[in-house]
Amino acid sequence: MVKVDLTFIDSVLDKHGHSKTKAIAIMQDVQNEYKFLPKDALSYIAEKLGMSEAELYGVATFYENFSMNEKGKYIIKVCNGTACHVRKSDDVQEALYTATGMKPEDHMSEDGLFTIERVSCLGACGLAPVCTVNDVVHPAMTPEKMYKLIAELREAEGV
């Protein structure tokens, strides 16, 4: 379980003037810090903004980018926008699951290293298919390149 630092949350709330209309920006800042939205943080934000937990949870779950689950050290986003799809991003995605030993329903690999996300368009369509590892873009991916990439990340971690 992640321990939530309430003074940090307070600083975020201050930055956005404790405004209910900034709920999304506040949650974005919190997620930037923890990579996901810890439950305790959500309850605290809801209380401070004068919203019910259900209301804030409703906003958080509406948007694809907010996650309620803990993330791995490397967040790998495989683009499945139309351009990437037409250039066979499915094969890249499949190779990624094989290489990490993960299943589509897993939020994080067992060793805590990887989280796989499938996103619709990263805006680098000219280099399709692309993936990002912690927001660093890897262009023109192939299954072979994906195997190599995962092996390199593992090696860097000494696994």
b/e per residue, 122-139, with b = 16+ CB within 10 A? bebbebbbbbbbeeeebe
The least CB distance from residue 60 to other proteins, in Å, is 9
Identify the residue among 12, 102, 114, 138 touching other proteins (CB under 8 A).
138
83 interacts with other proteins by CB under 8 A: yes
The least CB distance from residue 82 to other proteins, in Å, is 4
124 interacts with other proteins by CB under 8 A: yes
Q: Which stretch binds other proteins (CB under 8 A): 1-9, 36-44, 103-111, 114-122?
A: 114-122
| Closest CA relative to residue 70, chosen from 46, 42, 37, 96 | 37
Q: Which stretch binds other proteins (CB under 8 A): 35-43, 80-88, 104-112, 151-159?
A: 80-88
Are the C-beta atoms of residues 19 and 54 closer than 8 Å to each other? no
| Closest CA relative to residue 89, chosen from 134, 122, 136 | 122
Site of interaction with other proteins (CB under 8 A) = 19-25, 27-28, 58-59, 62-66, 80-87, 91, 94-95, 98, 119-128, 130, 135, 137-139, 143
